[in-house]
A = this chain, B = another copy of it.
């Protein structure tokens, strides 16, 4: 940018998810100029995206403009734009309109869903990574019920009232539970010709159990809780095809008008701009300082990094990204102070996954693993506390309280002009 002359080292943070935002905030008070570049104008609280997709929360409950979050941090400027290339030798990143020089680069562009080479599935089975994804999924779920109400063909009606979620990781499990709740509680009284409580929700998983990243005991608990809700869980069941008619698995077809993708993730393609040694998932192998080998001023954090901590792989979860972001700030501070950089150590604070209203599993260390209502309360408290500022907390709290008491979901609007007309 021709109109800025930084006197301090210039840190460019690409991507403002949990990792990029943590790095930016941790650089407050450090003598650097920070430029945050993101292709969205907002930071999204991804763990609650499924609530937007299932009409429980409004987009603005879980997303805040990045500018607004950092408005009081004087050493930060924010640019809306997509970084399309990095030149680590020249020390520049490129957007379609600008070339920006950096002294330090923090690459935190995360991951997106992967269709394992079947990119044509993307159109019929949307994944859930952004607010726009969530609004698209909400539109599809609500439209399916509308179309079911207006069709007179019983087979077509059954297809419209069958929802298949592919992949039983945390997102898939959350979506399955929430869609089931919409069908059995929220919409129960709204339709005349269909009985929404008879909807089928099928959760298909290629692996042998749901929530594979959790201990086996909790996977079994989650599976029991899903069954109790009325979600059909099909583990060890690979998807071989997805098209407008539905999903085909090894054991046969499941006719369905609404397929949601909660399966594989692939790292952002920007990783390939900083190394030619990305791993199978597209992640960038990093040093114990979270830098690219040979480029101590290029940090990679969050889901885009293949990092190790004390001999173990660091998982692709929000707390790891946040800890990575804060580690970067400490390294840059050490450089400015002329001291040696710390080594990154990941602190596992446990995992939580919610399943439906009042249902969840919690893994808070080997002696603290449990499912059910208590786990759900913990999940809820943690997420309310972590939401980005007071207004979001207040609004989400009010929305959830209302939803919990009444079973109603506040944001049941079909928006977006494409495919508005039932067909």
Contacts and interface: CB of A to CB of B under 8 A. Distances in A.
Residue among A65, A82, A189 with max Cβ neighbours from chain B (10 Å)? A65
10 contacts: A39-B420, A40-B420, A41-B413, A58-B58, A60-B410, A65-B142, A79-B149, A97-B423, A132-B415, A132-B416
A71 interface: yes
A146 B80 contact: yes
Interface string A231-271: 00000000000000000000000000000000000000000
Interface residues of A, number: 61
A38 to B, nearest CB: 11
Interface of A: 1-4, 39-42, 58-60, 63, 65, 67-68, 71-72, 77-82, 96-98, 131-132, 135, 142-143, 146-147, 149-150, 152, 187, 189-193, 391, 394-395, 398-399, 402, 408, 410-417, 420-423
Nearest to A40: B414
A411 to B, nearest CB: 4
A68 B190 contact: yes
Contact of A41 (B71, B81, B142): B142
A296 to B, nearest CB: 28
Contacts of A78: 149, 192
Contact of A59 (B65, B395, B411): B411
A79 B423 CA distance: 13
Contact of A131 (B40, B395, B415): B415
Given A135-B415, A398-B394, A150 B97 contact: yes
A96 B423 contact: yes
A2 B79 CA distance: 57
B80 A152 contact: no
Nearest to A134: B415
B421 A96 contact: yes
Contact of A3 (B42, B152, B187, B391): B152
Nearest to A42: B413
A80 B192 contact: no
A252 to B, nearest CB: 30
Contact of A81 (B2, B68, B150): B150
Contacts of A394: 398, 402
B414 A391 contact: no
A67 B411 contact: no
A14 to B, nearest CB: 15
